[in-house]
Amino acid sequence: MPVTGVKINKKTLELYTLEKEQLTAQIIPANATNKKVFWSSSNPYIAEVNEETGMVLAKSEGKADITVKTDDGNFTDKCNVTVTKKIYVTGVSLNKSSITLGVGNSEKLIATVQPSNATNQKVTWSSNSPGIASVDALGLVTAVSNGDAIITVTTDESSYTANCSVKCITVTNPVLTTSAATNISYTSATLNGNISNAGNPAYTERGFVYSSVVSVPTLNGSGCYNTTASGTGTGNYSKSVTGLDQDKTYYARAYVKTDMGVTYGNVVNFKTLKEVSNISQVRFKKVKNYTYVTEMTVDNTSGVELAGYYFGTSAGTSPYYEIPPGNHKLWYYYTEPGYEGWKDKGLYNFQKGRKYTFTCDDDGSYLTFYVTDDGPLKSSEPGIPYKPTTQVIKLEKSTLSGEKPKAIVN
């Protein structure tokens, strides 16, 4: 039966240098008597072919045509061969040399074959103790039980390896709370926290996150700030923060970082002080016959925030002025017939950052004036109450005479 044609099993072929590929020829018809063929290459320096077997050897970068020709009838077919240079693998590395995982948790390891443009990027993964830490074909490691294991990645070419030590533990989350802020001023405050359980694994960083725009601040969150605090273990810890805006509410909470992530305490809020430029009037409130009470707060750089005082048998108002810190005469206005007028009670040293309560009692014969220092606006010793101190001045009403200019202090 004569040959009527021939066909190569591949019309195109891509090879790396020094790679081999076996080509085969199909004689048409299949029952032809003479099935002998000859193989040749258009460029043996790029792709060489065995004349009798059709085995192709890639020798250098470039393109070549491999041709098969029948002995009977000289029928031909071609295969286009492209040869590229092979980049050999020289090693492999992992993104982490050790990790700690809580039982049931997973983490993906990333393998990098060297060089990065190596031709063969294939790798395989294995664990020396899959009952403790297993790994899948993509490098996802899962902690199965407590213990230690080694995860190994191996290159397909040349079997280079890299290892990662895995510690599998039962995780205990840290327990912490955020305490009220202290030492609050116009642009600073002290943030406070307490850690009652350091966790397992123990935390590696502790601090505070705070924000004036986010009510639940987070680490590295938009509009949030964070500050770290030194120390380890359990107990109280604090950190002063500065650069705050005046008269603004801030939200803060304690945090700790572990290998497992971030744990937060509860959220607390505080408001920075305000420098007051407009001083408000104050009325004394009648709490019983002849007893009147008011208060003022010294909490700004200029002095007293509220500084108007009025005494009398009926409520009223008086002129008001800003009182800077220091010794001042405190005047009051008395309205009982025969004693009406501005009266001078003497010097009193008003201090910045404190609250004062004023009380005046009139028993008919004497006017008793009380100034109580209620203590700092924010205690410097949280949990220790401040013991108020009271200055008492008792004036006989028969001595109260004369009109004074209607100014509160001088």
Q: Which residues pair with 329 in a beta bridge?
A: 347
- What is the spatial distance between Cα 405 and Cα 410, in angstroms, rounded to a whole number? 10
* pLDDT at 388 exceeding the cut of 60: no
Q: What secondary structure, in 3-state letters, does the chain show?
A: CCCCEEEECCCEEEEECCCEEECCEEEECCCCCCCCEEEEECCCCCEEECCCCCEEEECCCEEEEEEEEECCCCCEEEEEEEEECCCCCCEEEECCCEEEEECCCEEECCEEEECCCCCCCCEEEEECCCCCEEECCCCEEEECCCEEEEEEEEECCCCCEEEEEEEEECCECCEEEEEEEECCCCCCEEEEEEEEECCECCCCEEEEEEECCCCCCCCCCCCCEEEEECCCCCEEEEEEECCCCCCCEEEEEEEEEECCEEEECCCEEEECCCCCCCCECCCCEEEECCEEEEEEEEEECCEECECCCCCCCCCCCCCCCCECCEEEEEEEEECCCCCCEEEEEEEEEECCCEEEEEEEEECCCEEEEEEEEEEECCCCCCCCCCCCEEEEEEEEHHHCCCCCCCCCCC
pLDDT in tens, 4-62: 999 999 999 999 999 999 999 999 999 999 999 999 999 999 999 999 999 999 999 99
Which residues make Cβ contacts (< 8 Å) with residue 320, sequence separation at least 6?
279, 280, 281, 282, 307, 308, 408
* pLDDT at 389 exceeding the cut of 90: no
Tokens of 280: 């408000």
pLDDT at 22: 96
Higher-pLDDT residue of 146 and 339 is: 146
pLDDT in tens, 154-200: 999 999 999 999 999 988 889 999 999 999 988 899 999 999 999 88
Inter-residue contact 124 to 157 (CB < 8 Å): no
pLDDT in tens, 80-119: 999 999 899 999 999 999 998 989 989 999 999 999 999 9
- What is the spatial distance between Cα 80 and Cα 74, in angstroms, rounded to a whole number? 20
Bridging pattern class, strands 111-114 and 91-94: antiparallel
Q: Which of 41, 29, 30 is nearest to 69 (CA)?
A: 41
Average pLDDT of the residues of the chain: 78
**Chain-centroid distance, C-alpha 259:** 14
pLDDT at 378: 47
pLDDT in tens, 233-264: 999 999 999 999 988 999 999 999 987 789 99
315 band by pLDDT with thresholds 50, 70 and 90:
very low
